[in-house]
Amino acid sequence: MEALDLARWQFGITTVYHFMLVPLTIGLSTLVAIMQTAWVRTGNEKWLRLTKFYGKLLLINFALGVATGIVQEFQFGMNWSNYSRYVGDVFGAPLAMEALAAFFLESTFLGLWIFGWDRLSKKVHLATVWAFSIGSLMSAYFILAANSWMQHPVGAIYNEETGRAEMTDIWAVLTNNTTLVAFPHVIATAFLVAGTFVAGIGVWWMVKSVRANGDGPENTDASMYRTAARFGAVVMLIAGVGLLVTGDLQAKLMFKQQPIKMAAAEGLMNTEQPAAFSLLAIGNLAGNDPESVKHVLEIPGLTSYLATGDWDAPVTGINQLQEIYSERYGATTADGETIEYRPNLLVTYWSFRLMIGLAAFSAALALAILWVTRKKQVSGALWFKRLALVAIPMPFFASAFGWIFTEMGRQPFVVAPNPTGSDQILMMTMFGNSDSVSAGEVLTSMITFTVVYGVLGVFWFRLQKRYTSEGAPVIAPPPDDSDDEAGKPMSFAY
C-alpha cells in the first residue's frame, strides 16, 4: 500500500474511534446537568444520586475523548501537510476557536464541577455543569463548521499566486448552510446516544434491583432507576424525532451540494423518475461492475422525495453524474489515468442503511420502557434487561456509520467543490497527503496508534463496567448554602 492509502486508513481508524466517544460526552453532559437541576429544584435525593452516578461515567468518557482527539489535529500537519497548506487559512480558524474557546470552557468548568461539590453553593455549582455542557456544544459547532467547509466551501477565494484557499468572510464559514443543518443532526444523534446509555443502564439496574429485593414500594432503588430509564426514554424519542426532521433537511441539501454521494447511498446507477428508495440491493457494489447492481426491495418515489420534496421528481444517477463531474472537474489525471468520481458504493450504500437501521434499537428500547414502566410499575423481566444491554451500543455504531458515509461519500475529494460558488475551491484526496512522509512511517504510526487506542479502549470498558456495576452511590447531600465553608479546600468528589 502507498503512503496515501495508509494515511487514509490511519485517519479513518483514529477518527471513528474518537467519534465513538464524542456523542456520549455531548449528550450526557446536558443530561447530567438536567439531573442536577432536578435535584436543586426538588431536593429529591434520587436526582443527586443519579447525577453522581452518571457524572462519574461522563468523566471517564470525557478523559478518553480528550486523549484521542488530540491526535486528530496532529495528523493534519504530518500525514496531510499538503492539505493543511492549501486550506489552513480557512480550516484552521474554526479549529482554533474550538481549542481556545470551547475546549478551555469545557475543561475549566468541568474542573470546578468535579472539585466544587463541597465548596461552591448549589446554584453556582449547578452553573458550572451547565457551562461545561454549553462548552461541549460550542466545541461540536466549531468542529462541524470546519468539516462542513470541506463538504461545501464558502467564504473563501483561491489565490493562484500562492496556490492556497484564503478566507474572505469568517461569518460565511461559520454560518455555512451545511453547518446549520449538520449541527442539529449531530446534536440529536448525541442525545440519542446519551439517552440510550442512561435508559439502558437504568433498565439493567431496575431489573437487577427488583429481582434481588422485590417490586414493593420499599424498594426505592428500583424506583430511582425506573426514573432514569423513563428519563432516557423520553430523551430518545425527542432525539429520534429531531433526527428524522434534520436528516430529511440534510439529505435534501446534500442532493444539491454532493449529488453523487446521495446517488451512491441509494445505489442509483442511472437517472430515474420517480426514483425509488432501495431497501436491499444485490450485485457488485464494490464498483468493478456497477451495472450489475439491482434493487430487490424498494419504496417507490421515496428517493425523489428525499431529494426534492416531490415524490415524482427525477434524480440523476451515478453514471450520468460521473460524466458531468468528468466534464466539469477533469476526466483524467496528469498521468493520463481516468478519474473515478463514483465513491465506493459498497461503503456508502451499507453505511447509510446501518446508520438508520441500528438506531431502531433505541426506538424499540424507548417504547418498551414507556410501556413496561407505565403507572409507576417496575419490572424484573430478564428479556427487558437483555434488550437494554443490546440497545446501548447500537446508536454508537449508528453514529459511526453516519460519519463513515459522510466522509467516504465525499471521495475522491478531500475538499468537495461548491457547485453553486463563483470560485471552484476543491482538492482531491490524492493531492492532500504529505510528500515527505513515507509509507513505512505512516504504517508504523498507524500500528502504534491502533495498539495504544486498543489498550485505552480496554481501560475505558473496564472502568465503565466497574463503576456501572457499583450503581448509584448512597450519599448525603452537600452542606446547606448557609453553612460556613470559608477556608475549606476543594475536594475530588469521585
Phi and psi, residue 22, nearest 5°: -65, -50
Beta bridge partners of 278: 298
pLDDT band, residue 483 (cuts 50/70/90): very low
Return the pLDDT at 329: 87
Instruction: List pLDDT tens digits, range 76-110.
Output: 888 899 999 999 899 889 988 888 877 788 889 99
Instruction: List pLDDT tens digits, range 367-409.
Output: 999 999 998 898 889 999 999 999 999 999 999 999 999 999 9
The mean per-residue pLDDT over the stretch 304-319 comes to 89
**Among candidates 336, 358, 369, 333, which has minimal Cα distance to 228?**
369
pLDDT band, residue 491 (cuts 50/70/90): very low
The mean per-residue pLDDT over the stretch 11-19 comes to 89
Contacts of 42 by beta carbon, 8 Å cutoff, 6+ apart: none
pLDDT band, residue 420 (cuts 50/70/90): confident
The CA-atom distances, in angstroms, between 305 and each of 50, 275, 298, 319, 320 are 43, 8, 14, 21, 20
Q: Which three cell numbers stand for residue 468?
A: 456501572
Determine which helix (DSSP H) or strand (DSSP E) holds 317, and give its type and residue range.
none
Q: Is the pLDDT of residue 129 over 60?
A: yes
Q: Is the pLDDT of residue 479 over 60?
A: no
**Whole-number percent of the chain with pLDDT over 90:** 54
Among 164-168, 429-433, 476-480, name the one with the lowest average pLDDT. 476-480
One-letter amino acid identity for 299? I
Q: Let me know how long the chain is.
A: 494
The mean per-residue pLDDT over the stretch 211-221 comes to 85
Cβ-contact 200, 232 below 8 angstroms = yes
**DSSP 8-state secondary structure symbol assigned to residue 490:** P
Return the pLDDT at 249: 92
**Among candidates 428, 404, 424, which has minimal Cα distance to 337?**
428
Instruction: List pLDDT tens digits, range 452-468.
Output: 989 999 999 999 999 99
Instruction: List pLDDT tens digits, range 32-55.
Output: 999 999 999 999 999 999 999 999
Among 7-11, 208-212, 277-281, 354-358, name the one with the lowest average pLDDT. 277-281
The CA-atom distances, in angstroms, between 464 and each of 61, 110, 359, 459, 460 are 8, 19, 22, 8, 6
Compute the mean pLDDT over every residue in the chain, rounded to the nearest whole number.
88
Q: Is the pLDDT of residue 477 over 80?
A: no
pLDDT band, residue 478 (cuts 50/70/90): low
One-letter amino acid identity for 159? N
Instruction: List pLDDT tens digits, range 256-307.
Output: 999 999 888 888 888 988 888 888 877 777 655 666 777 778 888 888 988 8
Cβ-contact 182, 146 below 8 angstroms = no
